């Protein structure tokens, strides 16, 4: 059954509310206008899923206006893709689109201009020359608007994560020694597609045995051997919103060291969730997970054996987005924020264990999107 059929897409009204919040927040970020280019931010505000190319497409947004700058030959495609009418400035192939942007900005006498942080350096450099103005990143502004998810966004995230968890369970029931990594990846993509994901697996990392000690795997196409530890990290998108779930399990009995460290990983993941309280800094969640590991002789900090990366990341239209569960991120946890929880344990040259689930902040504290793994040998209830 397609899980994507059970959730509603982002509505035109919600996108209009997002634009209104953006326009109302510019002054507090000392910006007169922002330039939004193709990527997650353009999808967030306009529902447009285009990607950046050498042909500049952007939206110039001020407190009182929205103007799209777009190639003239793409006019019908742009207008069909936008759910609400906007003013447009068209440019022909022989013209410099950055000059068109400069003209729009000059008409409004805008001097404090923020640029989409996902815009390429080449485009930013050309825009700087054309506008003859210092440009700054609008990343902090966009993050402040996107980090707390609406009820519709939470439902889309839940659908994606529920689907990926179901895919994990189906893969566990199917996987067996003798399979190549590439075969498992293909199967997981097939299952995501069958479940209604936007485009199959957004990513899939499959690791066996010693390969599990490399956080994101290594090149090659190994064959699963009897008795090897299995780590699968995968996700998809539903309506553009991401899942990202990791399971580490075994089909055969492991030695006591693997069993003990698997239990320790689960303890660290639980400690991270317990520390995620409203108003607490994001970095405190990382501290809680790392403290559990350090009490058992791992680390400290990023030293191995131990936890080589942050405990978690924000998630939404980007699979990794701020704020982050990492030391130094003092963003207070607030209702609607969504995070991964994945304090991986790495024993170099031997094995690694990562349990990754996601939670969101409610008015009562953190709540799991998906139930954590049950055990090393029976990962699903």
What residues does CATH 3.40.350.10 cover in the chain? 3-146
Location of structure tokens 């990594």: 181
| pLDDT value of position 84 | 86
pLDDT in tens, the chain (381 residues): 466 667 899 999 999 999 999 999 999 999 999 999 999 999 999 999 999 999 999 999 999 999 999 999 999 999 999 988 899 999 999 999 999 999 999 999 898 999 999 999 999 999 999 999 889 999 999 999 999 999 999 999 999 999 999 999 999 999 999 999 999 999 999 999 999 999 999 999 999 999 999 999 889 999 999 999 999 999 999 999 999 999 999 999 999 999 999 999 999 999 999 999 999 999 999 999 999 999 999 999 999 999 999 999 999 999 999 999 999 999 999 999 999 999 999 999 999 999 999 999 999 999 999 999 999 999 998
| pLDDT value of position 27 | 96
Task: Tell me 245's DSSP state.
Answer: E
CATH number corresponding to 151-368:
3.90.230.10
Closest CA to 113 of 84, 85, 137, 91: 137
What residues does CATH 3.90.230.10 cover in the chain? 151-368
Query: SS3 of 57, please?
Result: coil
| pLDDT value of position 381 | 80
What is the C-alpha separation between 18 and 147, in angstroms, rounded?
Answer: 12
| pLDDT value of position 6 | 77
In DSSP notation, 127-164 reads: HHHHHTS-EEE-HHHHHHHHSS--HHHHHHHHHHHHHH
| pLDDT value of position 3 | 61
| pLDDT value of position 4 | 60
Residue 197 has which token pair? 């994901």
Residue 24 has which token pair? 């109302």
What is the C-alpha separation between 286 and 273, in angstroms, rounded?
Answer: 10
CATH number of this structure's domain 3-146, picked from the four choices 3.90.700.10, 3.40.47.10, 3.90.226.10, 3.40.350.10? 3.40.350.10
């Amino acid at each position: 059954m397609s899980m994507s059929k059970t959730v509603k897409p982002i509505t035109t009204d919600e996108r209009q509310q997002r634009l209104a919040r953006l326009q109302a927040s510019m002054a507090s970020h000392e910006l007169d206008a922002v330039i939004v280019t193709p990527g997650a931010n353009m999808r967030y505000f306009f529902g447009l899923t285009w990607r950046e190319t050498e042909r500049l497409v952007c939206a110039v947004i001020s407190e009182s206006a929205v103007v799209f700058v777009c190639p003239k030959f793409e006019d019908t495609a742009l207008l069909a893709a936008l759910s609400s009418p906007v003013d447009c400035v068209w440019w022909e192939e022989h013209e410099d689109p950055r000059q068109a942007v400069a003209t729009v900005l000059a008409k409004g006498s805008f001097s404090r201009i923020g640029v989409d942080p996902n815009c390429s350096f080449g485009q930013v450099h050309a825009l700087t020359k054309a506008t003859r103005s210092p440009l700054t990143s609008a990343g902090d502004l966009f993050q402040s608007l996107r980090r707390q998810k609406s009820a519709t966004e939470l439902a889309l995230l839940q659908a994606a994560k529920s689907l990926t968890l179901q895919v994990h369970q189906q893969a566990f029931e199917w996987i067996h020694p003798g399979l190549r990594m590439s075969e498992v990846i293909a199967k997981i993509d097939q299952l995501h597609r069958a479940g209604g994901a936007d485009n199959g697996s957004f990513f899939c990392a499959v690791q066996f045995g010693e390969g599990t000690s490399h956080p994101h795997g290594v090149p090659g196409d190994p064959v699963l051997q009897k008795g090897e530890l299995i780590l699968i990290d995968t996700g998809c998108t539903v309506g553009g919103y991401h899942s990202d779930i990791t399971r580490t399990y075994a089909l055969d009995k492991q030695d006591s060291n693997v069993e003990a460290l698997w239990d320790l990983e689960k303890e660290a993941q639980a400690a991270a969730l317990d520390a995620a309280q409203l108003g607490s800094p994001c970095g405190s969640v990382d501290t809680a997970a790392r403290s559990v590991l350090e009490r058992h002789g791992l680390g400290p900090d990023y030293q191995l054996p131990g936890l080589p990366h942050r405990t978690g990341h924000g998630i939404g239209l980007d699979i990794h987005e701020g704020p982050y569960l990492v030391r130094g991120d003092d963003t207070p946890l607030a209702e609607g924020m969504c995070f991964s929880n994945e304090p991986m344990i790495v024993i170099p040259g031997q094995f690694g264990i990562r349990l990754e689930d996601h939670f969101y902040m409610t008015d009562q504290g953190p709540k799991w999107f998906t139930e954590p793994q049950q055990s090393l040998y029976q990962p699903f209830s």
